[in-house]
Amino acid sequence: MEGLEIQQNGKITKKNFLRKDIAQEFCVHSRDLRPVFALKQVATILPRGKCFIFNIGMMKMVIGVEKIYIFNLGDSEVESKFIPEITRRIKDDLGENKLYFFVLEVALIYRQQKMIRRLRKLEVSAQIVLEKIEKDFGETVLEKLLLLKKRISTFEIQSKENESAILEILEDEEALGDLDLGQKQVKNVDEVESILESFLEQLEEMIYKISELKENIDDTQEIESLKLHARRNVIIRFDLLATMIMGGLAFLTVLTGIYGMNIKNNLEKDFSAFVYLSLGMGFFFLLFVIVFVWYFKRKKVI
């Protein structure tokens, strides 16, 4: 697997790494390196042997005392931003700081900034979609809303996985001490704990903002659904009224059909019979509509 080796003096070397060679160098089991060699993204901070394995949000590294190995070179931002930042700060600011603490801090800051940028993009996208929903809750906007909710849910899952990985270390005193790679000095342990706590606070704040964003979207979606239900109910009421009117008219067609049959009843040439029959049919139709409207209003159907 292709990766980079960064030494304590800031020297960078691109290499092809074998899992067994890294396992022998840092005295770890080959299976412990699975988080950095596997394609599946698993949030991990795992102290083992002479190193700890780090995999937080596509940041895949094996961090030792004097060198670190970075594996996820497929991420353009890792090569263009993270690695230059590591080498610059190693040369300028390392001093007495331990390389592995320094890299851990820079990696978490880099990941934090990337997550903040992603959250801001989601917030902007959500604002745009919500504004469109208020104007037109059409099929296109609904598709955008569903895609946005999927992106937000994915980001929330990743954030919570990162949070779990950090909490697992912070709640395990032995594992926290192992991040000092064998020295377990109180000062160093307090330093790494402070680094992790700072990242955890940012994670918790982002998770809270994500939950607020999801709640706003759900509330808006629910309001629009209520509006659609109200419109649907109005349509149903009109459909019911139209059905009643058509029923009344259908009954009148029966009467007119009987009246117009080819059977002489001595009323065909009587104009007054036509008038009375027409008025009676009209009166019956109005009475029919009034009775049914009154009945359905009483039952609170319309």
Q: What is the pLDDT of residues 122-166, one digit of tens each?
A: 999 988 888 887 777 677 888 888 889 999 999 999 899 899 989
- Residue 182, pLDDT score: 63
Picking from 185, 210, 229, the residue at the C-terminal end of a domain is 229
Average pLDDT, the chain: 80
Residue 43: which H helix or E strand, with range?
Answer: none
Describe the strand order of the beta sheet including 51-56 as a list of residue ranges: 12-16, 2-7, 67-70, 59-64, 51-56, 44-48
In this structure, the answer to whether residues 268 and 137 fall within a common structural domain is no
What percent of the chain is predicted at pLDDT more than 90?
10
Rounded-to-integer distance, Cα 191 and Cα 173, Å: 14
- Residue 156, pLDDT score: 92
Rounded-to-integer distance, Cα 99 and Cα 91, Å: 11
- Residue 208, pLDDT score: 93
In this structure, the answer to whether residues 243 and 185 fall within a common structural domain is no
- Residue 143, pLDDT score: 83
Rounded-to-integer distance, Cα 137 and Cα 225, Å: 9
In this structure, the answer to whether residues 156 and 239 fall within a common structural domain is no
- Residue 14, pLDDT score: 85
Classify each residue of 201-239 as buried b or exposed e, where b means 16 or more C-beta atoms within 10 Å of its C-beta.
ebbeebbebbeebeeebeebbeebeeeeeeeeeeeeeee
In this structure, the answer to whether residues 119 and 254 fall within a common structural domain is no
Picking from 229, 251, 279, the residue at the C-terminal end of a domain is 229
* Closest to 122 (Cα-Cα) out of 217, 246, 223: 217
In this structure, the answer to whether residues 40 and 180 fall within a common structural domain is yes
What percent of the chain is predicted at pLDDT more than 70?
86
For 89, the domain range is 2-229
- Residue 279, pLDDT score: 79
Mean pLDDT within 76-84: 76
In this structure, the answer to whether residues 67 and 148 fall within a common structural domain is yes
Q: What is the CATH number of the domain that holds 204?
A: 1.20.58.340
Mean pLDDT within 52-65: 84
In this structure, the answer to whether residues 56 and 123 fall within a common structural domain is yes
- Kindly report the pTM of this predicted structure: 0.72
The residue with tokens 């590294």 is 61
- Residue 139, pLDDT score: 75
In this structure, the answer to whether residues 154 and 247 fall within a common structural domain is no
Q: pLDDT by residue (tens digit) across 221-267? A: 888 778 777 778 777 777 777 777 777 677 667 666 666 655 566 66
How many structural domains does the chain have?
2
In this structure, the answer to whether residues 35 and 148 fall within a common structural domain is yes
- Residue 259, pLDDT score: 62
In this structure, the answer to whether residues 128 and 245 fall within a common structural domain is no
Q: pLDDT by residue (tens digit) across 90-113? A: 776 655 557 777 788 888 888 888
Rounded-to-integer distance, Cα 103 and Cα 135, Å: 49
In this structure, the answer to whether residues 289 and 198 fall within a common structural domain is no
pLDDT surpasses 80 at 62: yes
In this structure, the answer to whether residues 94 and 26 fall within a common structural domain is yes
pLDDT surpasses 80 at 194: yes
Picking from 169, 204, 229, the residue at the C-terminal end of a domain is 229
* 8 A C-beta contact, residue 217 and residue 243: no
pLDDT surpasses 80 at 30: yes
